[in-house]
């Protein structure tokens, strides 16, 4: 088994650039099937989830290749309208094939999607919305079978502002007959970016960034060349990695307004912060005291940074309370942090953390993407060496992790076990 080996204690300081946002790129890749022309997504990180979406598109008959810093997709001649389990299970984002394929084809068979084991990961909101758009949906033996005459615009109110369901229903409505209004939408920056991408393809979409999105169906969508926004979760991870080590970091290609819920914790005497349009500079000045964190749909604190900020709190002075309101099972990593000497008590969806002076290196096992990131961040400040197994989870969302951490001064190696 591969593992990262990190010897803690180094101050992380320096400049790095965030990749384009994984959670914007993945739905954009699915949208390539909406047009017969080429779709080019620039500054695309070579992460596992991108490779998994590439495999799904190629299985269906699309041509997908990397050129320079981008991925180029030609889905003009699809041969299959199904996504088998060995592909759909690799990631949650296989679910976007529902919205994109049903916009252009009358049927799709897709096995249940995968995704990090952080909760039920239901998809009822997706399916309820598709039914409103005129899709007949049958779930049987782990598959979702969809058939439709045409996609008819409708008014849909989501029972919860699901990011994926918001995106899927927008995508599916781009070529609908009439228009669709979706209420109680999620407002994540990646959704706004996806809408910008679709509008560049010729879609007529209004209300981005608000809880109500209107889509007027058009007859055809064109190819597009697009550079997605920077990855705010990657950026937040490196900011916390630098702060936990007592360092300073300048991270570019990230819009500060997209992670102000994180930056707000440090807009005080503990840090010096400078921001410009897509650059954040932050430096630790004083010791950190405990935090109160409560995750929620944007603009609340992002659930994807919950594991990482909890790791950060394990060495802050005093007590912290971290409440996870989005996923039911997103504290698995906490049991690994306890191996390092962290003082964490989990009670249902709340983590109670008492900061310790020091953590100690240990053998740690990542069980999901962001939980893995939390173990990496904790290891940077721990005394001695940590080995972090489960690299296959971390590789899903962090490109060039070893190179970026080394550039910042960390003592990190990747060990490939044969
Ligand atoms: C997206 O997942 C992100 N993934 C997740 O990032 C992120 O944590 C999540 O949004 C919340 O911000 C991608 O964009 C690829 P949801 P998604 O639908 O769309 C429940 C990462 O680490 N729900 O907003 O799956 C669901 O169970 C990943 O990059 C239903 O009940 O999130 C969850 O409890 C992890 N029925 C809550 O809503 C549904 O039909 C939020 O899910 C859909 C969701």
Q: What is the pLDDT of residues 378-394, one digit of tens each?
A: 999 999 999 999 999 99
Query: What pLDDT is stored for residue 127 in this prediction?
Result: 98
Q: Is 94 in the pocket of ligand 1 (CB under 6 A)?
A: no
Within 8 A by CB and 6+ apart from 192, the residues are: 208, 209
* Catalytic positions, written as ranges: 116
Q: Relative to the CA of 125, which ligand 1 atom is closest?
A: 40
Pick from 206, 212, 129: nearest CA to 164: 129
Residues 368-373, mean pLDDT to the nearest whole number:
98
Residue 418 pLDDT greater than 80, yes or no: no
Contact 48, 2 (CB under 8 A): no
Q: Is 75 in the pocket of ligand 1 (CB under 6 A)?
A: no
Q: Are strands 63-67 and 70-74 parallel, antiparallel or unpaired?
A: antiparallel
Mean pLDDT of the chain: 97
Q: Is 232 in the pocket of ligand 1 (CB under 6 A)?
A: no
DSSP3 helix / strand / coil % (the chain, rounded to 5): 35, 30, 40
Give the architecture-level CATH label for domain 22-223.
Alpha-beta prism (3.65)
Contact 266, 51 (CB under 8 A): no
For ligand 1, the distance from its centroid to the CA atom of residue 304, given in whole angstroms, is 10
Q: Does domain 2-18+230-416 have CATH number 3.40.50.740?
A: no
Residue 232 pLDDT greater than 90, yes or no: yes
The residue whose CB lies within 8 Å of the most ligand 1 atoms, and thus the one to mutate among 23, 185, 331, is 23
Beta-bridge partner residues of 293: 322
- Give the residue range(s) of CATH 3.65.10.10 domains in the chain: 2-18+230-416, 22-223
List, in sequence order, every beta strand (DSSP E) within 304-410. 319-323, 343-347, 350-354, 363-365, 385-389
The residue whose CB lies within 8 Å of the most ligand 1 atoms, and thus the one to mutate among 112, 144, 164, is 164
For ligand 1, the distance from its centroid to the CA atom of residue 116, given in whole angstroms, is 10
| N-term to C-term CA, the chain | 7
pLDDT digits (tens, 9 = 90+) for 193-217: 999 999 999 999 999 999 999 999 9
Q: Is 164 in the pocket of ligand 1 (CB under 6 A)?
A: yes
pLDDT band at 1 (very low <50, low <70, confident <90, very high): confident
What's the predicted TM-score (pTM) here?
0.97
For ligand 1, the distance from its centroid to the CA atom of residue 273, given in whole angstroms, is 31
Q: Is 301 in the pocket of ligand 1 (CB under 6 A)?
A: no
Residue with tokens 């007592």: 246
For ligand 1, the distance from its centroid to the CA atom of residue 305, given in whole angstroms, is 13
Measured in degrees and rounded to the nearest 5, phi and psi for residue 223 equal: -65, 170
pLDDT digits (tens, 9 = 90+) for 215-229: 999 999 999 999 999
Residues 388-412, mean pLDDT to the nearest whole number:
97
Pick from 271, 264, 219: nearest CA to 244: 271
d(CA 68, CA 70): 6
Residue 231 corresponds to which tokens in the numbers above? 């990855």
Longest dimension (CA), the chain: 63
Q: Relative to the CA of 298, which ligand 1 atom is closest?
A: 12
Query: What pLDDT is stored for residue 353 in this prediction?
Result: 98
Contact 108, 56 (CB under 8 A): no
pLDDT digits (tens, 9 = 90+) for 100-159: 999 999 999 999 999 888 998 899 999 999 999 999 999 999 999 999 999 999 999 999
Pick from 118, 130, 176, 129: nearest CA to 325: 118
Beta-bridge partner residues of 155: 181
Q: Is 61 in the pocket of ligand 1 (CB under 6 A)?
A: no
Burial environment of residue 305 by CB neighbours within 10 A (0 to 12, 13 to 18, 19 or more): buried
For ligand 1, the distance from its centroid to the CA atom of residue 24, given in whole angstroms, is 13
pLDDT digits (tens, 9 = 90+) for 76-104: 999 999 999 999 999 999 999 999 999 99
* Residue 26 Ramachandran class (φ > 0 left, ψ -120 to 50 alpha, else beta): alpha
pLDDT digits (tens, 9 = 90+) for 305-362: 999 999 999 999 999 999 999 999 999 999 999 999 999 999 999 999 999 999 999 9
Query: What pLDDT is stored for residue 120 in this prediction?
Result: 87
List, in sequence order, every beta strand (DSSP E) within 197-313. 204-206, 212-216, 224-226, 248-252, 271-275, 279-284, 292-294
Query: What pLDDT is stored for residue 416 in this prediction?
Result: 84
Residue 170 pLDDT greater than 90, yes or no: yes
Residue 295 pLDDT greater than 70, yes or no: yes
pLDDT digits (tens, 9 = 90+) for 39-56: 999 999 999 999 999 999
pLDDT digits (tens, 9 = 90+) for 55-68: 999 999 999 999 98
Query: What pLDDT is stored for residue 314 in this prediction?
Result: 98
Buried b (16+ CB within 10 A) or exposed e, 324-337: bebbeebbbbbebb
Residue 261 corresponds to which tokens in the numbers above? 């819920």
What is the number of residues in the chain?
418
Rounded to whole angstroms, what are the CA distances from 58 to 31, 55, 61, 63, 74? Answer: 14, 5, 5, 6, 10
Closest Cα to atom 14 of ligand 1: 23
Residue 259 CB neighbour total at 10 angstroms: 23
For ligand 1, the distance from its centroid to the CA atom of residue 297, given in whole angstroms, is 10
Q: Is 160 in the pocket of ligand 1 (CB under 6 A)?
A: yes
């Amino acid at each position: 088994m591969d593992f990262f080996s990190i010897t803690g204690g180094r101050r992380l300081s320096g400049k790095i650039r965030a990749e384009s946002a994984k959670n914007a790129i993945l739905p954009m890749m699915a949208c390539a099937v909406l047009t017969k022309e080429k779709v080019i997504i620039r500054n695309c990180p070579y992460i596992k989830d991108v490779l998994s979406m590439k495999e799904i598109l190629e299985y269906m008959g699309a041509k997908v290749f990397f050129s320079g810093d981008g991925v180029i997709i030609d889905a003009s001649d699809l041969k299959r309208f199904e996504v088998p389990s060995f592909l759909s299970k690799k990631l949650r984002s296989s679910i976007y094939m529902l919205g994109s394929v049903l916009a252009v084809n009358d049927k799709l068979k897709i096995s249940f999607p995968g995704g990090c084991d952080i909760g039920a990961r239901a998809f009822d909101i997706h399916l309820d919305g598709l039914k409103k758009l005129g899709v007949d949906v049958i779930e049987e033996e782990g598959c979702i079978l969809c058939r439709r005459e045409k996609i008819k615009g409708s008014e849909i109110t989501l029972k919860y502002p699901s990011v994926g369901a918001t995106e899927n229903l927008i995508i599916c409505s781009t070529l609908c007959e009439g228009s669709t209004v979706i209420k109680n939408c999620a407002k994540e920056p990646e959704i706004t970016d996806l809408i910008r991408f679709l509008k560049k393809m010729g879609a007529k979409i209004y209300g981005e960034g608000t809880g109500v999105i209107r889509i007027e169906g058009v007859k055809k969508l064109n190819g597009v060349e697009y550079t997605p926004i920077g990855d705010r979760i990657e950026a937040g991870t490196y900011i916390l990695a630098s702060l936990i080590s007592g360092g300073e970091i300048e991270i570019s290609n990230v819009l500060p307004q997209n992670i102000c819920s994180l930056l707000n914790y440090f807009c005080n005497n503990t840090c010096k912060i400078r921001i410009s349009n897509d650059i954040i500079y932050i430096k630790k000045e004083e010791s950190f005291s405990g935090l109160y964190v409560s995750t929620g749909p944007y603009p609340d604190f992002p659930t994807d940074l919950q594991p990482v900020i909890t790791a950060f709190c394990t060495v802050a002075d005093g007590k912290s309370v971290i409440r996870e309101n989005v996923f039911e099972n997103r504290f698995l990593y906490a049991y690994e942090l306890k191996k390092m000497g962290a003082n964490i008590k989990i009670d249902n969806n709340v983590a109670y953390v008492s900061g310790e002076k020091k953590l100690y290196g240990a053998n740690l096992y990542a069980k999901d993407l962001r939980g893995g990131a939390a173990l990496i961040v904790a290891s940077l400040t721990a005394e001695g060496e940590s080995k972090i197994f489960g690299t296959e989870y971390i590789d899903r969302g962090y490109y060039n992790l070893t190179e970026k951490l080394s550039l910042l001064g960390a003592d990190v190696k990747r060990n490939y076990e044969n």
